[in-house]
Amino acid sequence: MAILFLAPSAQATETPAPQPANSSQAITDGAVTPYGACNSSLRYREVTSKSNYYETLGPQYHSINNSTAPIQKSFQNTTSGTVSASVSGTIEGGVNGAIISAKASVSTSISASVSYSNSLTVSATVPAKKTTYAQIGTSKWKTGIRTYFSNNNCVKVVTSTGFLDAPTSVGWKVWNG
């Protein structure tokens, strides 16, 4: 079974993550404390894990082709909404701080939220004697993030850990069964 993630014919809109407010204690995004820099007043955030997954957003559509020749079928989404990023656990800086850290590690554009409308359509070829399925959804990244500082003895002290679930885009998953 082949699964394709296709961009919709109408564009989904992305809302960029707002920048974190200035605080008395800056957090530096990076995977390691620089050698010899054991300054306990500095905070660091690092990505500890990451995985990409697809989350469905609406009903599953299908088209059955009982003929001996392929046919073209268009599917149109009937739902609309917004998918927002969320944090589980505790991440210093919340969703916005987590997105800043994750963007440095994930090779795609994650967002605080993406919106989609009921005008998103996709066309597919339904092979002879087959059924083609289509479902709208979002590609998301689940990213583990922790914040730490290095104490005066250069020992890493973790101050918070959590996971960020953030969307990248909305599109169609189309497959034949």
Q: For the segment 116-167, what is each residue's pLDDT rounded down to a tens digit?
A: 998 899 999 999 999 999 999 999 999 999 988 888 888 888 988 999 999 9
- The domain of 134 spans 48-145+160-176
Q: What percent of the chain has pLDDT over 90?
A: 49
Residue 118 belongs to a domain: yes
Please report the pLDDT score of residue 49 as a whole number.
92
Residue 155 belongs to a domain: no
Residue 71 belongs to a domain: yes
Residue 29 belongs to a domain: no
Rounded to two decimals, the pTM is: 0.68
Please report the pLDDT score of residue 37 as a whole number.
59
DSSP per residue over the chain, as a string? ---EEE--SSPPEEEPPPPPPP-SS-EEE-SSPPTT---TT-EEEEEEEEEEEEEEEEEEEEEEE-SSS-EEEEEE----EEEE-EEEE--TTHHHHHHHHHHHHSSS---SEEEE-TT-EEEEEE-TTEEEEEEEEEEEEEEEEEEEEE-TT--EEEEEEEEEEEEEEEEEEEEE-
Residue 38 belongs to a domain: no
Is the pLDDT score of 11 beyond 70?
A: no
Residue predicted with more confidence, 100 or 8: 100
Please report the pLDDT score of residue 2 as a whole number.
27
Residue 27 belongs to a domain: no
Residue 15 belongs to a domain: no
Our count of domains for the chain comes to: 1
Residue predicted with more confidence, 114 or 37: 114
Is the pLDDT score of 23 beyond 70?
A: no
Please report the pLDDT score of residue 5 as a whole number.
29
